[in-house]
A = this chain, B = another copy of it.
Amino acid sequence: MPTIYDVAKLAQVSAMTVSRTLNTPEKVRPESRAKIEAAIAKLGYRQNQAARALVLQSTGIVKLQMSAGLRGNHLYFSQLFSGITDVLSQHKLAMLVTDHHEHTAACDGKIIMGLTREAQMALTPSKTPKVLFGKGPDCIDWIDVDNERGCRRATERMLSLGHERVGFFTFPSTEPFIKEREAGYLRAMQEAGITVQPNWIVTAMNNSVEAGYSSGRALLNQRAVTAVVCCSDHVAVGLAQAAYDSHVSVPEELSIIGFDGVGQERMGKPILATMRQPVFDIGRWLAKTLVQRIKQVGDAAPQHQMVTPDILLNDSTAPPKAILWRSD
């Protein structure tokens, strides 16, 4: 690999003039510049970014730290990626994807997600700025989805349609969002004065279509509810398929609403209602906020943002039928 000195020698100038041509071309005489550019082209010279990063104390890299497990929810994270890279590329920043605790590469800033709530709240400001997806301490920039409110709205939608026996379809997760969504459901039910029966809440094995399908079959066999609020579109899709195979028509006999709204709600028929998270915009916010921190010198007040999912009504909710779930 040719260095800046090789270019300098060939162009018969000093290394500094080459450096200037690269960084502040207006400060070098056009003739010299031409010679240098010719030499660069001839040698196929390219800046050594490691050396540059060392002296500038800046890498041009933003790290996206997420637990490997998170990448399972494919559509969700690819939309987040898109939002993030969309902004980063405008600022000539590259995105490095790592797991937590991989200290390998240096970076100018970090986007963090998928930590436990405790770990997130324990984060402290450091020299390299960081932005968090999920609730964090006041001293850190973060954005979070209002899961409680989102799920409350989804439940209220069912209630306002006239449903009373509204079920909740969840799955196990160590992350806080799952409890928040359940809280939203419970609160809406409580405010409506309806006592939630234990068998109205069903927990799938995990957040997948398959798990949603098999627990969905069980849920349907109980014939206890006329509407189901789901914790994700994965399990909602599984439930819809279970309904199809159980000859329960959606929405006539069963109303379903999911959560996430990153596209898979539209893959089957009927198209599922869902609480759409503005994932692309969240990605953009994360990147924009981080870039501000990276570029600025002084310290502005930490920014915090809560976004509430929109309801997408689509085709899977309807008022309950008067006569329903009668025993055959």
Interface residues of A (CB under 8 A from B): 1, 46-51, 53-54, 57, 59-61, 68, 71, 74-75, 77-79, 81-82, 85, 89, 92-99, 102-106, 127, 209, 237, 240-241, 244-245, 263-264, 266-269
Contact = CB atoms under 8 A, between A and B. Distances in A.
A81 B89 contact: no
B61 A89 contact: no
A237 B46 CA distance: 46
Contacts of A78: 71, 74-75, 77-78
Contact of A81 (B71, B263, B267): B71
Q: Which of A71, A79, A105 has the most CB of B within 10 A?
A: A105
13 contacts: A50-B50, A50-B51, A50-B59, A51-B54, A53-B53, A59-B105, A71-B81, A74-B74, A89-B99, A94-B104, A95-B97, A267-B268, A269-B269
A88 to B, nearest CB: 9
Nearest to A270: B244
A-B complex: 8 closest residue pairs judged by Cβ atoms: A268-B268, A267-B267, A50-B53, A49-B106, A74-B78, A50-B54, A244-B269, A78-B78
Contacts of A106: 48-50
Contacts of A127: 1
Given A68-B89, A89-B99, A105 B49 contact: yes
Contacts of A1: 127
A164 to B, nearest CB: 28
Given A92-B102, A105-B94, A74 B71 contact: no
A64 to B, nearest CB: 9
Contacts of A95: 96-98
Contacts of A77: 78
A262 to B, nearest CB: 8
Contacts of A266: 209
Contact of A97 (B53, B94, B105, B263): B94
A266 to B, nearest CB: 6
